[in-house]
Every structure is written in C-alpha cells, then in structure tokens.
Amino acid sequence: QSALTQPASVSGSPGQSITISCTGTSSDIGGYNYVSWYQQHPGKAPKLMIYDVSNRPSGVSNRFSGSKSGNTASLTISGLQAEDEADYYCSSYRSSNTQVFGGGTKLTVL
Amino acid sequence: EVQLVESGGGLVQPGGSLRLSCVASGFPFSSYWMHWVRQAPGKGLVWVSRINTDGSIINYADSVKGRFTISRDNAKNTLYLQMNSLRAEDTAIYYCAKSLAEGGQGTLVTVSS
C-alpha cells in the first residue's frame, strides 16, 4: 500500500501564502472526496486541519484551506505565521476499504 | 471534551505480543468508527486499522493483516489493538483516533531484543 506523495519540505516568510500538494491515484484522492490534512508539531499528536477536501473543523483558522483537482489535493496556508511551522500530512480514503497517508511535508517559516 | 487515552505500550521482544487499549470519553463512543494510526520514530503517519460502530466491519493495512486484531467494547467505551508476532518495524507511537478527526497522545511500542 503505497503512500500519497507530498513534497518533503516547503518554506515561506511570515505573511506569505504557501501550498502543499498531495498526489495520489484514481483509487484514492481522485475517486473520493475524503481527503484530510493534519498538522503536527514536534512531540505532539496530529491535529485535524481540513476534512472532506475543503472543510475546516471548528476552531481551525480560516487561513487554512483545502482543494482538489483530479488525483492531487492541496493545502494552502495564507498569512503565514511562526506557529504554522510544523509537519503536515494529507490522508485519503482508498478503494480497498483502507486509509492512506502522505509521507509528510515539513513547513519552515523563514 | 473528547478524550482518548491510550495505554499498553512498552518494550517487547520480536515475535512477542502486546494489547493496546484506548479509553474514550466526552462523546458517544458507540456511534463512531475508530482507527489506529502509528508513527515510527522520526517518520510519518501510517494508518493501521479501523472498526465500525458495532465491530461488524474491520479493515487492516497490509503490513499488519494477520498479525493485529482490532476490537471494541462499547459498554466500556474502549478500543483495543491486539498485536501478535511483533517485528522491529512495528516500533512506533500508536494513536487511537475517533473517525480520524481527533486522537489521543499515543502509546509507544518498542520491539527489540
């Protein structure tokens, strides 16, 4: 069961916007609107930031947004802040009745 | 407030067994699918298994199929993961998660001789 493909790292300056991509196949991202994004700070448990492609849980800043096109999902963070520096993981339902995560992207705020 | 508290982790020799537990509170446990997700030291998140509300639907990642068993006791608001034939590559923090939306702080499993 291969993982979804994310860039290993991205960076941006405070106030800028960045986008993290997550590429899968028609059996996962492309076939279902069940893509989620998680934020994980060092030593902490993951936190859900986006679910069902573009929905934000209560309490998550509207600076975080999600989208999908074909087999690729994206997480955009606007107005970058120092506290956004973390690892980000995408996840999708897969047609084999399983769930798959991406390899993770380390976001550095310069 | 949703709370998920994992326990049962520890050091075990290759080939050994462990049973993880996850006690849930703050939400109607019996109404939610539950998942186990793991994270090896310094590595990414990996989905392990899921179980539906009454335990009638269960799925596993290929890497643990036949060795791990997920179960739940809705009367006790508890999720379990029975892990047998453990390997070094099973070393990880194991998180339980409510519908993959909220999780606990995890419990560390170390497989080593």
Q: What is the pLDDT of residues B25-84, one digit of tens each?
A: 999 999 999 999 999 999 999 999 999 999 999 999 999 999 999 999 999 999 999 999
> Does residue A8 contact residue A103 with C-beta atoms inside 8 Å?
yes
Q: What pLDDT score was predicted for residue A2?
A: 82
Tokens of residue B99, six digits: 């519908």
Q: Which residues of chain A have pLDDT under 70?
A: 1
Distance from CA of A29 to the nearest CA of B (A): 16
- Contact of A37 with chain B, judged by CB distance below 8 Å, is answered with no
Averaged pLDDT, B90-109: 95
Distance from CA of B50 to the nearest CA of A (A): 8
CB contact under 8 A, B61 and A51: no
Give B75-95 as a 3 state SS string: CCCEEEEEECCCCHHHCEEEE
- Within 8 A by CB and 6+ apart from A83, the residues are none
B contact residues 14-33, partner A, Cβ 8 Å cutoff? none
